[in-house]
Amino acid sequence: MSTRPRHVPATFDLEGRLALISGAGSATGIGFAAARALGELGARVAITSTTERIHERVAELQHAGIDAVGFIATLDSEDGVDRLAAELEAASLEPTIVVNNAGMVNVSQAQMLSGDVTGDVADWRRSLEMNLTSAFLLTRMVVPGMRAARWGRIVNVSSVSGPVMASRADVAYAAAKAGMVGLTRALAVDEAAFGITANAVAPGWIATGSQLASEEEEGHRVPLRRSGTAEEVASVIAWLATPGASYVTGQVVVVDGGNSIGEERT
């Protein structure tokens, strides 16, 4: 039985829409939570990750009554995105909603790339590929279909790191996430005439399976005294994809429990 309410108000109704969400392999991550939230509003969801675990997420969504399909895809290269495009076309799937959530680190890597400005250029380039180029390539893939439909929603999962704040020894990630905001605003201007909106969500400290102990501790210092949840970020993503958000474009919505506005720390 579907968990989606029987009568979704028209302003939130995504019935008949296909949402493509990248980086949805983790059961505790923002991507999977976004897929569930969009599915509960009536969208069919296509989710990706770099490993076989995506099929477990699809099964969980289907068990909840959500129409879901999954793809193993590496999105930081043209070849990887071209392969995904071919699979979507073969399945007659044409997304008009895309959530660019893939990035930071995948399960095949030991740790997130980080370092200050004296770091290795290869790490810098790799971080940009994972966190920014992947969003560019996936968006480039879906925009022609959105233009043809004269309707589309692009939601980029950025971060407070880069656009709003910065952590120590994290220059590449901060630059990539700030770049994602620039990409978002450029898309908003270029695609508005086609009925396509583009917005970014900037999470702060979020309690996912990849959250470090030090990050959990930082979460206790924000004004709301806790880390956020993937579901709280997903609710913003889902709203930005709805018909009711049609006049919101080029914006960055910060989801950080007030951390970026609090001047004092205790």
Cα 19 from Cα 38, distance rounded (Å):
7
| Contact criterion met (CB below 8 Å) for 103 and 131 | yes
Instruction: Give the β-pairing of 68-72 and 97-100.
Output: unpaired
The pLDDT, as a whole number, for residue 6 is: 56
Q: Which residues of the chain have pLDDT under 50?
A: 1-2, 106-110
Task: Report pLDDT digits (tens) over 173-229.
Answer: 999 999 999 999 999 999 999 999 999 999 999 999 889 898 899 999 999 999 999
State the total domains in the chain.
Answer: 1
**Residue 29 within any structural domain of the chain:** yes
Residue 266 lies in a domain: no
Catalytic, 247? Answer no
What residue type is 202 in one-letter code? A
- What pLDDT shows up at residue 105? 52
Q: Is 265 inside any structural domain?
A: no
Angle at 85 between CA 83 and CA 90, to 5 degrees: 95
Provide the domain limits for residue 209: 18-255
- Alpha-carbon distance of 210 to 26, in angstroms, equals 9
Q: Give the active site residue among 32, 173, 205, 239.
A: 173
Write the CATH number for 54: 3.40.50.720
- Cβ pair 64, 2 in contact under 8 A: yes
Tokens for 105, please give them.
């680190």
Estimate to the nearest angstrom the gap between the alpha carbon of 71 and the chain centroid: 16
Per the domain annotation, does 99 fall within a domain?
yes
Apex 65 CA angle, 63 and 67, nearest 5: 105
Phi–psi pair at 191, nearest 5 degrees: -100, 0
- On whether residue 12 sits in a domain, the answer given is no
What is residue 7's predicted lDDT score, i.e. its pLDDT? Answer: 79
Would you mind telling me the total number of residues written for the chain in this entry?
266
Q: What is the DSSP string of 21-73?
A: ESS---TTSHHHHHHHHHHHTT-EEEEEESSTTHHHHHHHHHHTT--EEEEE-
Tell me the residue type at 80: G
Residue type at 239? Answer: W
Amino acid 108: pLDDT: 42
Answer yes or no: is 9 within a domain: no
pTM exceeds 0.85, yes or no: yes
Distance CA 160, CA 109 (A): 23
Task: Report the run of H or E that residue 64 belongs to, with start and end.
Answer: none
Burial of 122 per CB tally in 10 Å (0-12, 13-18, 19+): exposed
Q: Is residue 264 part of a domain?
A: no
